[in-house]
Amino acid sequence: MSFAENPLLETWATPFGLPPFDRIAPEHFRDAYDVAITEHRAEIEAVATSAEPPSFANTVAALERSGRRLSRVSGVFYNLTGAHTSDALRAVEREMSPILARHWSSIYLDARLYARLDRLEVERESLGLSAEEARVLWRHHKAFRRTGAGLPDAARARLAEIAERLAVLSTRFGQNVLADEQSFVLPLAGEEDLAGLPDWLRAAAADAARERGLDGHVVTLSRSLIEPFLTLSPRRDLRERAYLAWIGRGETGGQTDNRALAAEMVALRAEQAAILGYPSYAHFKLDDAMAKNPDNVHELLRGVWEPARALAERERADLDAMLGRDAGAARLAGHDWRFYAERVRRDRFAIDEAEVKAYLPLEGVIAAAFDTASRLFGLSFAERPGLPVYHPDVRAFEVTDRDGRHVGLFLGDYYARPSKRSGAWMSAVRGQRKLDEDVRPIIVNVMNFARGAGEAPTLLSFDDARTLFHEFGHALHGLLSDVTYPSLAGTAVARDFVEFPSQLFEHWLEEPQVLRRFARHHATGEPMPEGLLAKVLAARRFNQGFATVEYCASAAVDLELHLQPSADNLDVVAFEKATLAELAMPEAIAMRHRTPHFTHVFSGGYASAYYSYLWSEILDADGFDAFREAGDPFDPDLARRLRDNVYAAGDLRDPAEAYLAFRGRPPRPEALLRQRGLAA
């Protein structure tokens, strides 16, 4: 296939340099990858074999310039495999994952490149580098060293084999979870099965059936459908069937069973860490994080676990009492918790979920997020219909600054569909850089909201709205990036810092002035009544024992799995069960992500690092306190420091220094406990 026949290899003349998604087909990727990898190899070889002594320009900057076509192809490909995949794309993904792993290993294990970087790192103080140049040199040197470039030939060869095998297993793991999610449907046959479900949930179940070519109503394993079903359906038998399928993904015993894959990945990671000289994979991973070592993560989790577990037990007592009135001697189970928690919430706060959703149409929440970004950072968002996006549901917005200058392109992909994996995330089709030219980013937010039926608006729960704000915080981290070198741009920061900008942005959703302006009834346009607003804000910390326990249990199992010095013959489910028993996990609460479907850890880059959300929550809780102390959630000086030192700064400096530059002091951990209602 020639360049002229493959849109991935063309120079794109589309508005904003957006990929011509309307012309890109799965069969284009294999040839495009072949060309891109060949080009990148030639660029790398030129650096490695240069006869000139190593300099920042001919080594570090040259590495930063290399592989641009490969980055472009991968930016398109991985956006599609997550948000709009197909059998053909999955086949390409399985084929390419070991090839790409082999390619990157050949670079990061290249002793010639490492020797050049090592010499520059030794001489760094005498090279006259700017702060950003010194940081990018240090980053490259550390990346090569952590990959094993300085080790003997046999060790480097084994590390390359491990990386390739892990890439294969990671791809299979994620595809298996998606297959389990796609294959499960729970039919709701008639009024008896639909009893108690509000109109918006019935409409979502009908839409899910239509998407799958089925009649009637179905519940799927999309979080935006199964969680409200578990929360609102009075049919205990149906809740149980749906819940067991939800927590049993990746553990079906068939071709999509992930238990053996997860065990092999844990074992390979342990071997990788040992070759690199670390006691465990967790020690290796955390050495390049804010937490620094597993002891610090254990301290964090211990400090939260006991008060969270005690609160969850108090919450369970309330649920048990209500279940007893309904079902006599029945024991509270996992499929009961959300349903009875909602009943208790209604009794305690007089809040009806359907009433709240009526004031949170998707359009209003998007407008609230955009307006918050405008008030904090001076951004404007103008929708640009007609651009060649990858699915008709995707919306494109040009982002400009106060002076009307182009900042980037933002794509919002909000609705659940069978071709999309579950969850919500931010990705970059193109990252920001200023090396050689000012390249502005193309950033994507992907959600899985249940679409309103027909012409009806899509209504969000408060948790859905929080998710939108969270992912938009990630998007702003990518859009506002203002660095020279692409490897430092946007969200390319420590894993336990990357959630700080996103979690911090969630706080503005809960600001009364934001809700008063944007929480408006989808039919009448009337603002949310002050009484309902007060109840919504009062209920923010309800059920936080449950939420904290299910999260911390997942973080603990992830950490303990990767603290194993070796993992031969590992039964990951038995290990999970033993770890939870040691924690005294409440019987009626499951991990938020059980090991066989823990995609964050086994196909998403969070191995040994799922604790990161909690670590970042210390920063976001303490960070938003700064705005409270200023008496203005949009304080201009704080917003400027936040933008300059966090959202725009990428990995220009150590994250602890970045936080200090914004806040003026280190974070105080007690803010986290207050935020979750675990301390006064």
Q: Which of 488, 404, 387 is closest to 442 using CA atoms?
A: 387
Pairing label, strands 425-430, 442-449: antiparallel
CB under 8 Å to 233, separation ≥6 — which residues? 195, 196, 197, 239, 339
Tokens of 639: 């917003």
DSSP string, 339-372: HHHHHHHHHHH---HHHHHTT-BHHHHHHHHHHH
Check residue 98 and give left, alpha or beta (phi > 0: left; psi -120 to 50: alpha). Answer: alpha
DSSP string, 454-507: TTSPPB--HHHHHHHHHHHHHHHHHHT---SSGGGSTT-S-HHHHHHHHHHHHG
Asked if 567 and 619 count as a contact pair (C-beta separation under 8 A), the reply is: no
Q: How many residues does the chain have?
A: 680
CB under 8 Å to 338, separation ≥6 — which residues? 227, 230, 231
Tokens of 535: 């109840």
DSSP string, 117-170: HHHHHHTGGGTT--HHHHHHHHHHHHHHHHHTTTS-HHHHHHHHHHHHHHHHHH
Asked if 263 and 468 count as a contact pair (C-beta separation under 8 A), the reply is: no
From the candidates 471, 506, 560, 617, give the one annotated as an active-site residue.
471
Residue type, 248: G
**DSSP label at 652?**
S
Distance CA 626, CA 131 (A): 28
How many CB atoms neighbour CB 434 within 10 A? 16
Q: Which of 360, 271, 183 is closest to 566 using CA atoms?
A: 271
471: annotated active-site residue = yes
Distance CA 77, CA 93 (A): 9
Q: Which of 326, 144, 339 is closest to 226 using CA atoms?
A: 339
Instruction: Determine which helix (DSSP H) or strand (DSSP E) holds 57, and give its type and residue range.
Output: none
Measured in degrees and rounded to the nearest 5, phi and psi for residue 261 equal: -65, -45
Distance CA 572, CA 329 (A): 33
Helix (H) and strand (E) counts for the chain? 28, 7
How many CB atoms neighbour CB 657 within 10 A? 12
Asked if 79 and 429 count as a contact pair (C-beta separation under 8 A), the reply is: yes
Distance CA 493, CA 659 (A): 13
Q: Looking up tokens 């390979």, which residue turns up?
A: 268
Instruction: Determine which helix (DSSP H) or strand (DSSP E) holds 543, and give its type and residue range.
Output: none
Tokens of 601: 């850890």
The alpha-carbon radius of gyration of the chain (Å, integer) is 25
Asked if 667 and 302 count as a contact pair (C-beta separation under 8 A), the reply is: no
Instruction: Determine which helix (DSSP H) or strand (DSSP E) holds 523, and give its type and residue range.
Output: none
The catalytic residues are 471
